[in-house]
Amino acid sequence: MSVFQTTITTSTTTRLPPKTTLPQVLSLLHDHPAMITLNPLVVDYRVQPPLVSTTTASSQPATPSSINPTTTTYSITDALSYLPFHLWDTTVTYTAEFEDTDDGLKTLVHAPAGLEIDGVWRVIGSADAQHGGGGMQAGNGEQASAGTQTGCLVLEERTTATCNVFLKPFVQGTMKKSHDELHKRLVERLQEGQK
């Protein structure tokens, strides 16, 4: 890591609707297009074909999707506003690797300007969350009470972002705002499925 690189670590914990089952949440987390489009910044995405690893020294390193068949790589485009009042709007395209896990989802984003975001989404029971299963850190009022009702499932998202130190305020603010909205939309989607 260079002198100008910094790390941002976040944890967002959200209590899921009371009647939500583990299979329902995992089904949504493992539905990559749904997870991608729940992000309010996303304007486009496409599945990337896996790279074929070769043995020549000049070849590019294999990506996780060519090593692990459960990983799918996507090209995702976000609409971003760099200045208030939409004075400087643009789009940014990056790659994201999605790997389904038994208790959730792992993601790895490779974006321009050296931004990398490693994310882990886990579904845990409220008792696990209360007793250190997630080291809960609240993002907003509803999330702060996550895990206080017994029998409720909790969604925990932990991210570690590495970026240029000068981009840190923008990256941190954008991630917080978009991921809070993503969690809200995810809960709404689960509630719609219970009707």
CATH number of the structural domain spanning residue 143: 3.30.530
| Count of structural domains within the chain | 1
Q: Is residue 74 part of a domain?
A: no
Question: Is 79 part of a structural domain of the chain?
Answer: no
Cβ-contact 36, 45 below 8 angstroms: yes
Q: Is residue 55 part of a domain?
A: no
| 68 within domain boundaries | no
- The answer to whether residue 178 is domain-embedded is yes
Per-residue confidence of the chain (195 residues) as pLDDT tens digits?
678 999 999 999 999 999 999 999 999 999 999 999 999 999 999 999 876 544 444 444 444 444 466 799 999 999 998 767 767 789 999 999 999 999 999 999 999 999 999 999 999 986 554 444 443 333 333 443 344 444 689 999 999 999 999 999 999 999 999 999 999 999 999 999 877
**Residue 161, in any domain of the structure:** yes
Specify the pLDDT at position 76: 98
Instruction: Give the pLDDT of residue 126.
Output: 61
Here the contacts of 168-175 (C-beta below 8 Å, separation 24 or greater) are 168/6, 168/8, 170/82, 171/8, 171/115, 172/8, 172/10, 174/41, 174/80, 175/8, 175/10, 175/117
Q: How far apart (Å, rounded) are the C-alpha atoms in residues 137 and 108?
A: 21
Q: How far apart are CA 72 and CA 94, in angstroms?
A: 14
How high is the pLDDT of residue 131?
42
* Residue 80 resides in a domain: no
Task: Please give the residue range of the domain that contains residue 144.
Answer: 5-38+102-193
Domain contains 62: no
